[in-house]
Amino acid sequence: MASLIRLSFFFFVLFHAFPLLSPFVHGSDEDEDNLLQGINSYRRSLNLPALVKNDNAGCLADRIADDIEDLPCSSPTNGANILPSSQSPLANLPKHLRKCKIDANSTQDGVILPVCVPKLVPTLVLTNYTHSPKYAKYLNDSRFSGVGVGSEDNWAVVVLASSNPSGNFANAAGSLVSIFGFGHYLVFLLLGVSLILVS
């Protein structure tokens, strides 16, 4: 009987641990991956290296997309190239940097590129990035090596990061939680408690 209770408790903890270990899943992840693939194909056609996913830039892109999802496409944010180090039309940008555990000094050479396309038609979104002179100049720039992509409703957000310290969207100093994620700590706590209760 005690074995059955322990086994049940173990599976209960395990069942609740999996969602905490996996990253948050958005319904648009496939579209975001397709956009990144299209951008990288465009860069390869220009003999530029492919952009590599940058987790912090991805976090920032997701948060910005969530923040602007209710804005109309006529918003001045649409088509704006936003430099994190300058005066930003995104009022919540400092909050997003903190939430993503990004050192603000590591964003000076990065750029945020939001685009609004009704229903996020994939070919139109990619065309907005690759054929708009405002955005293409950043995608054509070899100093950018990292990328984060986020989307919500009609908005897609691409965050470009460089490989140098002033644009790599590095973690804020001293933040272990940003390295491992809070979910991992919680899982280890739950597993530790379960081992204590089982023994």
**pLDDT tens column, 74-96:** 988 888 878 876 777 888 999 99
The answer to the question of residue 124 being in a domain is yes
The answer to the question of residue 2 being in a domain is no
89 close to 80: Cβ distance less than 8 angstroms: yes
For residue 152, the cross-strand partners are 155
> Chain centroid to CA 77: how far?
18
For the record, the structure tokens of 23 come out as 């990253």
pLDDT band at 3 (very low <50, low <70, confident <90, very high): low
Question: How confident is the model at residue 82, as a pLDDT?
Answer: 83
Rounded distance, CA 161 to CA 61, Å? 11
Say how many domains are in the chain.
1
54 close to 147: Cβ distance less than 8 angstroms: yes
The answer to the question of residue 197 being in a domain is no
Q: What is the pLDDT of residues 141-175, one digit of tens each?
A: 999 999 999 999 999 999 999 988 878 788 765 44
Rounded distance, CA 70 to CA 153, Å? 8
Strand, helix or coil for residue 159: strand
Residue ranges making up the domain that contains 39: 26-175
The answer to the question of residue 12 being in a domain is no
Better-scored residue on pLDDT, 105 or 120: 120
CB atoms within 10 A of CB 197: 12
The answer to the question of residue 90 being in a domain is yes
59 close to 24: Cβ distance less than 8 angstroms: no
CATH number of the domain where residue 68 is located: 3.40.33.10
109 close to 164: Cβ distance less than 8 angstroms: yes
The answer to the question of residue 184 being in a domain is no
The answer to the question of residue 115 being in a domain is yes
- The answer, yes or no, to whether residue 188 has pLDDT greater than 80, is no
DSSP state letters, 114-138: EEE-GGG-HHHHHHHHHH-HHHHHH
Strand, helix or coil for residue 169: coil
DSSP state letters, 11-23: HHHHHHHHHHHSP
The label of the residue with tokens 């997309």 reads 65
The answer to the question of residue 21 being in a domain is no
What is the percentage of the chain residues whose pLDDT exceeds 90? 53
Question: How confident is the model at residue 91, as a pLDDT?
Answer: 87
